[in-house]
Copies of this chain bind each other. A is one copy, B any other.
């Protein structure tokens, strides 16, 4: 270690950034943002093989973005702290602001229609209190069960058409999903609007909502 301390520091910062530089790991972080999980569950959700998933998780741990603990024979990973979430968010913001490609993809998700501005979390909280809004959780049932906004309906994109009749035509619908890198809510809003419903996206997803200290309902098992 005869290199300059300055370079040594930059190497360490670069290590953190490199951990964020693979889509597979961003996908894992998105899952971890929702709550701690074992390796197998993460592999399942992200479509990675177990061994590959394990290696990516170890890189996240080495970079200080995630930590792990043992629970019986399973190893449970979770985000180190809220800074990791902030880092993911900032990454997304910079990309959305400055990369034309991202704008194009997001436009595609909204089905060509110009999507309305997202609803802020504070706004949603206020309107939930007065009951003037329907909240829709567009995630798989198991993730919904592990924690969701109180009063939210749950439906995946595939189930969306079926629950349309249950939605009131006049009430505004606010859809949310996993958070930083979620695309389900975008797609759900596009579908709902095509059916003439007044739908908007929540700013951020469940992890951000929880991070704000707002109530999260966990289903009993």
Contacts and interface: CB of A to CB of B under 8 A. Distances in A.
Interface of A: 5-18, 20-23, 26-27, 63-65, 80-81, 83-84, 86-88, 90-95, 97-99, 101-102, 105-106, 108-109, 181, 183
Q: A5, A9, A106, A109 — which one has the most chain B CB atoms within 10 A of its CB?
A: A9
7 closest pairs, A vs B, by CB?
Answer: A64-B98, A17-B20, A10-B23, A18-B21, A17-B21, A6-B183, A10-B26
A97 B13 contact: no
Nearest to A104: B8
A14 to B, nearest CB: 5
A93 B86 CA distance: 11
A104 to B, nearest CB: 9
Contact of A94 (B21, B84, B94, B181): B84
Contact of A6 (B90, B91, B181): B181
Contacts of A18: 17-18, 21
A88 B88 CA distance: 13
